Amino acid sequence: MWLVTGATGHIGNVLVRRLLERGEKVRALIPPGECRESIQGLNVEAVEGDVLNLDSLFESFRGVHGIFHLAGVISIMPGSNGFVHKVNVDGTRNVLHAAKEMEIQKLVYTSSIHAIKRVEQGVIDEALPYDPGNPYGAYDRSKAQATLDVQEAAQAGLEAVIACPTGVIGPFDFRGSMMGDVIRTAAEKKPTLYVDGAYDFVDVRDVADGLIAAAEYGKRGESYILSGQRMSVRYLLETVREITGQGFMVLKMPFELAKWAAQFTPFYYRWTKTSPRFTPYSLEVLRSNSNISHAKATRELGYQPRSLYESIADTVRWFLSRRAFAKIKQ
């Protein structure tokens, strides 16, 4: 049996679906009070627990031979964040401790491309170090430190491998990721404000398949970048327009204006308690080096990401089908 932490998240629920399609038995670790919509109706054993509660981990790991550890907190807000560090670092350390004590045979940790040291030029690949001193954000630092902890556990004998996805898009985005919201807004023909830039994006289904391949073929202590293709925000919006055959108002904000406004947006997002979109961090990512290689994952895991056009098309259809279903229920 496989246990999945973070099973209700975007990557997590798709991973659960992929495992079930392969005939695997799956146990999902779900924090108390967390919405289970994304795995509702799936033949999965849902157990209540928290990566910050070590006792619940020992209990949920019973009878499990492997773990996919995805639970974490994503943040694009600037500055330090104690909760992000607590969940992403302390929570991972708890998972590692319980996995060792329970003699888990395989652990696949989902890190992030942002855990890897930023370089302005050249190819970003697994030869670059993880950077817990990253100046760009608490999330990056927390994922880097947690990844180093996984590497240390692997050196001590735990059969652990690491996967680093880039920007994830795709269907089954129940919570509405940042890029998912951009696609949904455009697909629903609502006015869409954007800042042009580009980054490497990858389909969530390819990430899930990459995680499974890492469990099967990944080498202990090794890291695998699960990237896709470089895509501009403008291309994404034009593709949505082509797929839907519908026009919608597109408002492009000049980058320098967005950069100036981003000095104040964190205060707005904290005050309104809304999901952030334009922050100094997100703007930096859109202008950062996105020459990212998945050659190692292709060579050692057989990883082959699909075209982003297919990803966008499937995401648009998924969001629109959910909207239509919601109208029927009303």
Per-residue confidence band for 329, with pLDDT thresholds at 50, 70 and 90? very low
Nearest to residue 175, comparing CAs of 29, 38, 278, 83? 38
Those residues with Cβ within 8 angstroms of residue 203's Cβ, 6 or more apart along the chain or in another chain: 168, 169, 170, 228, 305, 306, 308, 310, 311, 314
**What domains appear along the chain, each with residue ranges and CATH number?**
2-175+200-229+291-306 (3.40.50.720)
pLDDT digits (tens, 9 = 90+) for 62-107: 999 999 999 998 876 656 678 899 999 999 999 999 999 999 999 9
Give me the pLDDT at residue 265, please.
Answer: 66
- Rounded Cα distance between 43 and 274, Å, is 33
Strand bridging mode 229-232 / 198-203: antiparallel
Give me the pLDDT at residue 325, please.
Answer: 43
Per-residue confidence band for 137, with pLDDT thresholds at 50, 70 and 90? confident
Give me the pLDDT at residue 126, please.
Answer: 97
Give me the pLDDT at residue 283, please.
Answer: 72
Higher model confidence: residue 136 or residue 189? Answer: 189
- Rounded Cα distance between 311 and 75, Å, is 24
> Strand runs (DSSP E) across 75-169, as ranges?
106-110, 160-165, 167-169
Give me the pLDDT at residue 328, please.
Answer: 44
Give me the pLDDT at residue 274, please.
Answer: 60
Give me the pLDDT at residue 254, please.
Answer: 82
Residue range 287-314: average pLDDT?
95
pLDDT at residue 303 is higher than 70: yes
Give me the pLDDT at residue 133, please.
Answer: 87
173, with CB counted inside 10 A (0-12, 13-18, 19+), is buried
| DSSP per residue, 125-147 | -TTSPB-TT-SS-HHHHHHHHHH
Portion of the chain with pLDDT greater than 70, in percent = 91
Question: The whole model's pTM is what?
Answer: 0.92
- Rounded Cα distance between 122 and 133, Å, is 21
> Contact 159/102 with Cβ under 8 angstroms?
no
Residue range 256-280: average pLDDT?
69
Average pLDDT, the chain: 90
pLDDT digits (tens, 9 = 90+) for 17-31: 999 999 999 999 999
Q: Which of 164-168, 233-237, 259-263 has the lowest mean pLDDT?
A: 259-263
Residue range 222-232: average pLDDT?
96
Give me the pLDDT at residue 134, please.
Answer: 81
Residue range 155-166: average pLDDT?
97
**What letter does residue 32 receive in the DSSP assignment?**
T
